[in-house]
């Protein structure tokens, strides 16, 4: 049964979890399927690349690993219903095979669904950090969660 419902996620609370090491074979398999470029596959390029030490991880592979850590540590044990989207995502530092990634997530805001009394939204700032404590990616996104105890629409409000 889910243990983390909408009510259990307080504004300002911080979760830290993860410790996933980037596997070279999976990193390259992801790149060849979804982001095949000189930087991600280590091809020689006709133009300068940001990093000389290639291949580097596709940023989307970092985002996908972040999602995996979120599912393993939070969402898989929650009343999550999915996400409507991401307001902003930035990649700040390069990730390579062998790096170990962690997630730090803060609840920025929460509100009830305008019509569904059993659903609410959680707005998170999610950061991905490497083994040196550098932030390699962050995103501001929203998640939908079922309420443990559906409330009458008029009794709810912003937490």
Partner 1 sequence: MNPRYFEDIVIGETGVTGGYTVTEAGVIAFAEQYDPQPFHLDHAAARESLFGKLAGSGWQTVALANRLLVSDGLRDVAISGAAGFDDLRWRRPVYPGDTLTCRYTVTAANDTSDVRFGELRVEAVVENHAGETVMSMEWLPWVARRVASM
> Rounded to the nearest 5 degrees, what angle is found at the Cα of 7, between the Cα atoms of 5 and 10?
110
Round to whole Å and give the CA distance between 90 and 97.
Answer: 20
Residue 46 or residue 132: which is nearer to partner 1 going by CB? 46
User: Is residue 90 classed as helix, strand or coil in its secondary structure?
Assistant: strand
Measured from the CB of residue 57, what is the shortest distance to partner 1 in angstroms? Answer: 11
Round to whole Å and give the CA distance between 151 and 81.
Answer: 18
Residue 151 in contact with partner 1, rule: CB under 8 A: no
Considering only 49, 123, 148, 151, the residue that binds partner 1 (CB under 8 A) is: 49
Q: At 109, list the tokens.
A: 């805001």
Round to whole Å and give the CA distance between 29 and 134.
Answer: 25
| 92-131 footprint of partner 1 as x/- string (CB under 8 A) | ----------------------------------------
Residue 53 or residue 154: which is nearer to partner 1 going by CB? 53
Residue 37 or residue 117: which is nearer to partner 1 going by CB? 37
Rg for the chain, CA atoms, rounded: 18
Instruction: Look at residues 125, 124, 99 and name the one whose alpha carbon lies nearest to residue 110.
Output: 124
Measured from the CB of residue 92, what is the shortest distance to partner 1 in angstroms? Answer: 9
Considering only 2, 64, 106, 159, the residue that binds partner 1 (CB under 8 A) is: 64
Residue numbers of the site for partner 1 (CB under 8 A)? 26, 30, 33-37, 39, 45-50, 58-60, 63-65, 67-68, 71-72, 75-76, 80-91, 137, 139
């Amino acid at each position: 049964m889910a243990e983390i419902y909408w009510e259990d996620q307080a504004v300002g609370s911080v979760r830290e979890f993860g410790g996933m090491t980037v596997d070279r074979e999976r990193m390259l398999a992801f790149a060849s399927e979804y982001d095949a470029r000189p930087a991600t596959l280590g091809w020689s390029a006709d133009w300068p690349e940001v990093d000389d030490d290639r291949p580097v991880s596709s940023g989307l592979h970092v985002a996908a690993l972040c999602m995996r850590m979120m599912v393993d540590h939070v969402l898989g044990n929650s009343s999550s219903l999915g996400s409507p989207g991401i307001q902003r995502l930035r990649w700040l530092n390069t990730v390579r095979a062998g790096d170990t990634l962690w997630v730090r997530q803060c609840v920025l805001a929460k509100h009830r669904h305008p019509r569904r009394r059993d659903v609410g939204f959680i707005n998170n700032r999610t950061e991905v950090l490497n083994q040196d404590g550098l932030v390699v990616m962050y995103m501001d996104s929203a998640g939908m969660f079922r309420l443990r105890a559906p409330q009458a629409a008029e009794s709810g409000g912003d937490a």
